[in-house]
Amino acid sequence: MSESAHDAVVVGYDGSPSARRAAHWAAREAATRRRRLVIVHAFRWPLTELTQLRTEIVVLSEDPFRGEYQKLVDELVAECQPLAGDNVVRGEVIAGEPVNVLNRLGANANLLVLGSSGHGAVHQVLLGSTSAELVRSVPTPVVVVRETDQPARRRRIVVGVDGSATSTRAVDFAYDFATRHNADLVAVHAWSDLPLDMLGTVQEWDVNWDDVTEQAKVALSEALAGHSARYPDVRVHPIVTMSKPVEALLEQGDNADLVVVGSHGRGAVRRMLLGSVSQAVLHYARCPVAVVRPE
């Protein structure tokens, strides 16, 4: 199984509507990338709950639920094959903790795609526990697709830019995605993270805001430098705004096909954490969100 997922588009499927929509999105993306699509349903082995045994992948010769799970996955494979074009679509049913299974397979994938919430989510703005954990831990770019996402193509990709190394990888991903989809790229640099109730006080500071804005424009230009030569066909719309980054990205994302953010995780501990901006965008964006981690 790990070999079939290598450099493929991998999507997790738990039977929920958001996971089904994520699979359809992943199939179209597999066609664009000319990659295999691997649909993975990971289920907890019933004895796990009784014995507290924890394994990443367990090969079972018999399981009373496996046949039903495989039937559901096979039906989804049939739905996704026309969307994936000539690319191979495979369905896999694997016994094991979903987070562990998808973490293992996603680490070697070209892209990991997930639904925003699994069974029992209390509200559409909440990520499912599996999706939230994988976004924090998988090194591969992860795209989270909402159940309410519409398939309409606006040909508009939004990326958050702050000049960090993680942001640089997000910009790379966004340019590549825009090229593949013949889309415009909206590069957003929001340079104020001040609470709204402080803005009145800030306006009284002895600050030349025109100079600050100009410096922000230069910073954005430098962050995008070099990409135009590599991606000459991408039309870029730079946006510099004195807004909170989350608000700016969500506003632009309302009319986008994808919002791309860096995870801002660094180091052994911070790799397991999401930055406040990426976390908020994941929870509230109306379109799919790609989270790109540092190398």
- Is residue 185 within 8 A of residue 174, CB to CB? The reply is yes
How many angstroms separate the CA atoms of 125 and 199, rounded? 28
Q: Specify the pLDDT at position 51.
A: 46
Q: Specify the pLDDT at position 120.
A: 36
- In degrees rounded to 5, what are phi and psi of residue 56? -75, -50
The 3 state secondary structure assigned to the chain is CHHHHCCCEEEECCCCHHHHHHHHHHHHHHHHHCCCEEEEEEECCHHHHHHCCCCCCECCCCCCCHHHHHHHHHHHHHHHHHHHCCCCEEEEEEECCHHHHHHHHHCCCCEEEEECCCCCCCCCCCCCHHHHHHHHHCCCCEEEECCCCCCCCCCEEEEECCCCHHHHHHHHHHHHHHHHCCCEEEEEEECCCCCHHHHHHHHCCCCCHHHHHHHHHHHHHHHHCCHHHHCCCCCEEEEEECCCHHHHHHHHHCCCCEEEEECCCCHHHHCCCCCHHHHHHHHHCCCCEEEECCC
Q: Do domains 2-145 and 156-292 have the same CATH topology?
A: yes
Indicate the CATH number for domain 156-292.
Answer: 3.40.50.12370
Q: Specify the pLDDT at position 44.
A: 78
Q: Specify the pLDDT at position 235.
A: 96
Range 2-145 has CATH code 3.90.1640.10: no
Q: Specify the pLDDT at position 258.
A: 97
Q: Specify the pLDDT at position 67.
A: 86
Q: Over the chain (295 residues), what is each successive 10-residue block's mean pLDDT? A: 82 93 97 98 66 49 74 97 97 92 94 75 49 86 82 86 86 97 95 50 57 81 87 94 90 95 58 66 92 86
Burial group, residue 153, by CB count within 10 angstroms (0-12, 13-18, 19+): exposed
- In degrees rounded to 5, what are phi and psi of residue 196? -60, -35
Q: Specify the pLDDT at position 126.
A: 44
Domain ranges (residues) in the chain:
2-145, 156-292
